[in-house]
Structures are given as C-alpha cells and as structure tokens.
Amino acid sequence: MGRGVQEHTNRLLSGLTGIGRVHRIDGLPHEYYGGELNQSVEEILANAGLTSIDSRLSRSTALAFSAIQELLENVDFGGGKRCALINATSVGGMDTTEQEYLRNRESWDYTRFLQHNLGQINDRLCAHYGWNLFNTTMSTACSSAANAMMLGARLIRSGQYDQVIVGGTDALSNFTMRGFESLMIYDAELCRPFDDTRAGLNLGEAAAYVLLESEQSARERGHTANVRLTGWANANDAFHATASSPDGKGAVLSMTQALEVANLQPEDIDYINAHGTATPNNDLSESIAIKQVFSEVPVFSSTKAFTGHTLAAAGAIEAVFSVLSIEKNLAWANLNWTTPIADTGLVPALETTSLEINHVLSNSFGFGGNNSTLIFSSI
C-alpha cells in the first residue's frame, strides 16, 4: 500500500487494495494473490535512507528497518529514558534461507542461514542504532505483534520501563504461501473477509512499530499523546493446532478480558478492527464471538482485504489503523464483501464510514487458539 502513515491513510481513504499478483518469489507452482511490496531489499533500504546498511538482509529485517526508521524520524526515543524493544515475527529470515538453499551447495554462504533465526532482526536493529537495551522477540503466529504490545504495556505499567518500541515484521516466502495452501485456506482470488463466499486468505508482507510510553515520561519531554492503549488480553481456547474453536470461546475471553482491563462496557466500543482473515473457520468463529460479547454489534470491518494477512505484523499494522480511526473518526471499509455469513448475518462496514470514535477494539488471533485483543481510546 505504500511506505509510511500518510501513504497508507491515502490508500485506506481511496478504498484501493494493496493486493495483486505475487511476482518476486521463485518456485511457486502457480500465480498467487498477495500484498507484495514490489521492491528488492536494496530498494527497501534505499527508500528509507538506509543505504549504509549491508543489503544482504532478509526481507523481514529490511522491512523492520524501514518502519523503525520512520518511527525514529517522528518520535523522541531514548534521551535518558528506560527503553526496550519488543519485536514480533513468524517468518524471520525464511526468504533468505530459501534463496541460499537453491544455490549450489558447494557455494553456499553459510552466514546467510544465520538470518533464519527470529532474533536476528533485533540483533541487526540494535547493532545499527547502537541500542544497548532490553529486547525480545514474540512469535505466537498471527497474534504476535498484539502480544508484543501487550508485553510492552505491562512493562510500562509495572514501572520497569518508560518507553517501549513494539511491533512486528514478516515477509512473504515460498514456504508460508505453500503452507497455507496445503491447509486449503489460501484463496486463488482476492480475499473476501466476512463474506459468505469467502474461500481463504491472501498473505501480505509488511512491518509496523509504535512507541508506547508512560504518561509521566511523555509529560517530562513535553509530548501530549492523543490515543492511549487502555485494554489488552490474551486467551487460548486450546481447540486445534490451526483452527479457531467453532463457538469462539477464546475470542470471547480475549475481548471480554480486554474490556475489563480498559474498564469499559461492550457498548462503549465504537469500532471493531476485526481479525477477519477471510478463512471459512476464522470469520465464522469471530462473528459468533462478536455476537456473544456485543448485544448490539458496533461498526466493524477487516482491513486485511487492503493489506493481505501479514502474519506476525498484522496486530501492529492494525494498531496503527485503529489509531488512525480515532484520530480521523473513520471506520475503514471491508473490501470485496457482498453477502452476509448465513449463520450470523453480520454486515461489516461496506465503505469507509464517518462516525465519532472514542474506543476501538482490535482483534488478532493466531494458530493454536492464541487470541489477543487490544483496545485503543481517545484522550
């Protein structure tokens, strides 16, 4: 969809998806739809003004550098504050491993395989920026970035840190695309979240990060925030290795517990940024859960029809979209929708909708029934 908050805002407002045919991955058996960034690692770094960095990076790492660089250009990170970094990824350096493996074994560059390690992304970021701080990596599938935010919030609330960069990054790879197709949940056409004809997801690649900061720390540096992370929760329904429970039990738990942390009632939520992967199982399960939690379902939509499902990065990207919703009083459109799911009858926002938004609930659900919910509120 672009680089940076403004380019993404423009695309959301225009209703134009970032999903198209995937071209940059070798060895795929047929054409796939996906949210692919049509840039090389070198181009990703150059567009972020990071030409001094060794370009022999994984795409996930390059995407992380691009997003982190934009963040640092817009916020005051450090400056004597107690800081931390929590990154989320599930693919890690998979794309680099795939590329190297296809080469003749006699000419393998074994150092390239080291990038497969998920923690290498943090290592490269900290080395480049000279950060000597607490950092860790979250990998809980599609809920990873939401859980990174949750941990960051708890570290700040406990008084251990003043500022925590939280977010996630994942790149497209042959392995993940074929893997989702083997589960028979990769749509051969554009994905259709919450539509009765939905047939699966389209994957995407992206990175997004935000700075969480205590109120006292922000006040000391003269910064006034306009959005607060007020609620968070994680629950596991322990139903299946890859499928959500049909009764939405884990999703109900994560949403209700997040509301309790935020000290809010269901009727206080103005907009739900749903997980909405467009898979038959997820969208039905999430719809059932939403109807259980909300006697009157608020405006809701899935933005994955814009971006594709970006796996570990999804929770961070949709956190940014949730913040934008509050700042602009807009609920984003649910693209490609025509027919309600027969079992629930829920109708998402069919176009970007203007309404007063004070509280946004954002869902991120991962494999293994790892369900996470964040709530963002205006100040």
Q: Using one digit for the tens of pLDDT, what is the confidence trace for 298-325?
A: 999 999 999 999 999 999 999 999 999 9
What local confidence, expressed as pLDDT, does residue 182 receive?
94
Query: Which tokens go with 283?
Result: 């969208």
Cβ–Cβ under 8 Å, residues 54 and 64: no
Length of the chain: 379
The whole model's pTM is what? 0.95
H-helix or E-strand spanning residue 213: strand 206-213
Amino acid at 378: S
Cβ–Cβ under 8 Å, residues 187 and 201: yes
What local confidence, expressed as pLDDT, does residue 102 receive?
83
Query: Which tokens go with 365?
Result: 């659900």
- Sorted by sequence, the CB contacts under 8 Å of residue 219 that are 6+ apart come out as none
Spatial distance between the Cα atoms of 120 and 269, rounded to a whole number of angstroms: 38
Q: Beta strands 227-236 and 299-301: pairing type?
A: unpaired
**CA–CA–CA angle 68, 190, 286 (5° rounding):** 75
DSSP structure class, residue 332: P
CA distances (Å), origin 40, targets 93, 330, 355: 15, 33, 39
Mean pLDDT along residues 96-114: 83
Give φ, ψ of 316 to 5 degrees.
Answer: -75, -45
Mean pLDDT along residues 347-368: 95
Q: Which long-range contacts (CB under 8 A, 24 or more apart) does 125-134 make?
A: 125/61, 125/64, 125/65, 125/68, 125/85, 125/87, 126/85, 128/53, 128/65, 129/68, 129/72, 131/83, 131/85, 133/83, 133/84, 133/85, 134/83, 134/84, 134/85, 134/161
What local confidence, expressed as pLDDT, does residue 219 receive?
93
pLDDT over threshold 90, residue 239 = no
pLDDT over threshold 90, residue 113 = no
Domains and CATH numbers, the chain: 227-378 (3.40.47.10)
pLDDT over threshold 90, residue 54 = no
CA distances (Å), origin 24, targets 121, 170, 181, 283: 21, 15, 18, 29
Catalytic annotation, residues? 142, 275, 309
Spatial distance between the Cα atoms of 129 and 17, rounded to a whole number of angstroms: 33
pLDDT over threshold 80, residue 105 = no
> Under the phi-then-psi rule, with left for phi > 0, alpha for psi from -120 to 50, and beta for the rest, what region is 139?
beta
Q: Beta strands 359-366 and 271-273: pairing type?
A: parallel
- Using 50, 70 and 90 to split pLDDT, how confident is the model at 247? confident
| CB neighbours of residue 5 within 10 Å | 17
